[in-house]
């Protein structure tokens, strides 16, 4: 019997009990769709995280004060010796000691309350920095200008705002050239940043940026030191070299008992760590989804066993007409594979449609390998779980099968 004949008989078998065939397919459909969607969610969250890290700049190394002995952040004990200062910035900008460093951007964090007219708002991030921040952090302005070198040298009272801050203070009005008060001091809005949206943890547009000099004068005070220094390497290949140079330059002045009092964060290594974490997460999701695929396969087997029992007499007739074992085996195996292929194709469709929607805040990103894998596993499941029922049908003795009522 040819493959085409086996296929024809299988189609007839599937169509002869449509509702049951449909429900059986549904098991495989759900399994395949679940694999596709969950892998897409895992991948989507990985993409979101790496986008977030890349948004910070991939050629970038961040230096923060504090070592293992000093705890984290501003809450820990810090002597003036461990503070990062503008002197460190100057040292890092030395092109002979640090040939791989493109730019060095000092940053101080502060907290302010901004007011404009009757509106009042506290941005979650307020920082003072230099013009190179725009390039290093990839935060271009949408309107107006970023902080300029002139602003730095004149200690200008200007500020660049993120979209969220603009909305809270100005609503729909144009903020450019307007004067707002930061902790009671007047600042002129010089620029508005291009919106970046949320990175999943915080709103990246909830930010206000002022010149470093002005911020140290009026908000944080000169003695508090820098919150971080952002170093941009000349290219992505030079990131590690830049990191080593920075470490070499800073270690003599910022270490006690041989332990460095600063931390260097490399975005690339951060990216690698997060992607490996996400990989585990994705595999876990896929494993859970694979279980539903397995359950779908058991559904196929169950229905095929029922079908074989129901059609015992038909099998007897076919054997009396000269069907060989292989003919019967082929017919029923094709039928179970057909069920799982149809279910699988529907599952792929459902998976692709389902991946269009945001799921728990993550925009799923469909991976082509997951589609192929889910479909292949779905079909393999149909084949595997079809073997036993088909073999049972093929092994029926014609005389007994014919007598079956």
Partner 1 sequence: MSSRPRRRRATLVLKGVSKSYGSGDIAVRALRDIDLVVERGDFVAVMGSSGSGKSTLMNLIGCLDAPTEGRYLLEGIDVSQLDDFELAFIRNRKIGFVFQSYNLVPRTSALRNVELPLVYARVPKHERRQLAEDALVAVGVGDRMHHLPSELSGGQQQRVAIARAIVTEPAIVLGDEPTGNLDSVSGTEVMQIFSRLNVAGRTIVMITHEADIAEYAKRVIHLVDGRIDSDRRTAPVHALPPKLAADDVARTGSG
Of the ranges 92-100, 118-126, 376-384, 396-404, which one interacts with partner 1 (CB under 8 A)?
396-404
| Helix-helix angle 267-310:325-354, to 10 degrees | 140
Whichever of 2 and 118 has its CB closer to partner 1, that residue is 2
CB 85, CB 254: distance < 8 Å:
no
Dist. CA 250–CA 3, nearest whole Å: 74
Residue 323 as a binder of partner 1 (CB under 8 A): the answer is yes
- Cα 104 from chain centre: 29
Dist. CA 389–CA 369, nearest whole Å: 31
Residue 317 as a binder of partner 1 (CB under 8 A): the answer is yes
What's the chain's Rg over C-alpha atoms?
33
Residue 325 as a binder of partner 1 (CB under 8 A): the answer is yes
Q: Which helix (H) or strand (E) holds 262?
A: strand 262-266
Closest CA to 383 of 288, 266, 304, 281: 304
> Contacting partner 1 (CB under 8 A), which of 5, 142, 174, 356?
5
> Contacting partner 1 (CB under 8 A), which of 11, 12, 221, 291?
12
Whichever of 291 and 320 has its CB closer to partner 1, that residue is 320
Query: What secondary structure does DSSP assign to 13-33, as a single string?
Result: HHHHTHHHHHHHHHHHHHHHH
Residue 402 as a binder of partner 1 (CB under 8 A): the answer is yes
Of the ranges 29-37, 175-183, 206-214, 324-332, which one interacts with partner 1 (CB under 8 A)?
324-332
Q: How far is the CB of 360 from partner 1 (least distance, A)?
A: 47
Q: How far is the CB of 323 from partner 1 (least distance, A)?
A: 5
Whichever of 15 and 360 has its CB closer to partner 1, that residue is 15
Whichever of 169 and 323 has its CB closer to partner 1, that residue is 323
CB 329, CB 369: distance < 8 Å:
no
Dist. CA 363–CA 357, nearest whole Å: 7
Residue 20 as a binder of partner 1 (CB under 8 A): the answer is no
Dist. CA 245–CA 238, nearest whole Å: 10
Length of the chain in terms of residues written: 405
Residue 324 as a binder of partner 1 (CB under 8 A): the answer is yes
Of the ranges 168-176, 318-326, 351-359, 378-386, which one interacts with partner 1 (CB under 8 A)?
318-326
Q: How far is the CB of 402 from partner 1 (least distance, A)?
A: 7
Q: How far is the CB of 312 from partner 1 (least distance, A)?
A: 12
> Contacting partner 1 (CB under 8 A), which of 11, 194, 272, 320?
320
CB 111, CB 135: distance < 8 Å:
no
Interface residue list for partner 1 (CB under 8 A) = 1-2, 5, 12, 16, 313-314, 316-325, 327, 398-399, 402
């Amino acid at each position: 019997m040819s493959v085409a004949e086996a296929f024809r008989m299988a189609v007839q078998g599937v169509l002869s009990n449509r509702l049951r065939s449909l429900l059986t397919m549904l098991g495989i459909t759900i399994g395949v769709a679940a694999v596709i969607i969950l892998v897409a969610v895992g991948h989507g969250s990985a993409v979101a995280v790496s986008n977030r890290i890349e948004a910070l700049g991939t050629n970038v190394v961040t230096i923060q004060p504090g070592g293992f002995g000093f705890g984290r952040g501003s809450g820990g004990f810090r002597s003036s010796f461990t503070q990062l200062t503008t002197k460190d910035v100057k040292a890092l900008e030395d092109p002979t000691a640090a040939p791989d460093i493109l730019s060095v951007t000092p940053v101080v964090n502060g907290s302010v309350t901004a007011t404009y007219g009757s509106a009042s708002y506290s941005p979650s991030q307020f920082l003072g920095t230099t013009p190179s921040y725009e390039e290093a952090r990839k935060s271009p302005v949408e309107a107006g200008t970023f902080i300029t070198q002139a602003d730095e040298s004149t200690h200008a009272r200007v500020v660049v705002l993120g979209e969220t801050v603009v909305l809270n203070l100005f609503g729909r009005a144009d903020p450019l050239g307007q004067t707002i008060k930061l902790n009671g001091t007047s600042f002129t809005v010089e620029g508005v940043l291009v919106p970046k949206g949320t990175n999943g943890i915080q709103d990246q547009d909830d930010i206000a940026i002022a010149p470093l000099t002005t911020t140290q004068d009026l908000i944080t005070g000169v003695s508090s030191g820098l919150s971080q220094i952002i170093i941009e390497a000349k290219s992505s290949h030079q990131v590690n070299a830049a990191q080593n140079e920075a470490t070499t330059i800073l270690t003599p002045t910022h270490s006690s008992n041989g332990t460095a009092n600063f931390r260097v964060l490399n975005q690339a290594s951060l990216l690698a760590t997060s992607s490996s974490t996400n990989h585990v997460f994705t595999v876990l999701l896929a494993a859970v989804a694979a279980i539903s695929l397995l359950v779908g396969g058991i559904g196929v087997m169950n229905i095929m066993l029922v079908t074989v029992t129901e059609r015992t007499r038909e099998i007897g007739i076919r054997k009396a007409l000269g069907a060989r074992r292989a003919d019967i085996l082929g017919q029923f195996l094709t039928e179970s594979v057909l069920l799982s292929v149809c279910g699988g194709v529907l599952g792929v469709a459902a998976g692709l449609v389902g991946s269009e929607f945001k799921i728990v805040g993550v925009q799923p990103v469909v991976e082509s390998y997951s589609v192929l894998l889910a479909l292949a596993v779905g079909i393999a499941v149909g084949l595997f779980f079809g073997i036993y029922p088909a073999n049972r049908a093929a092994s029926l003795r014609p005389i007994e099968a014919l007598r079956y009522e």
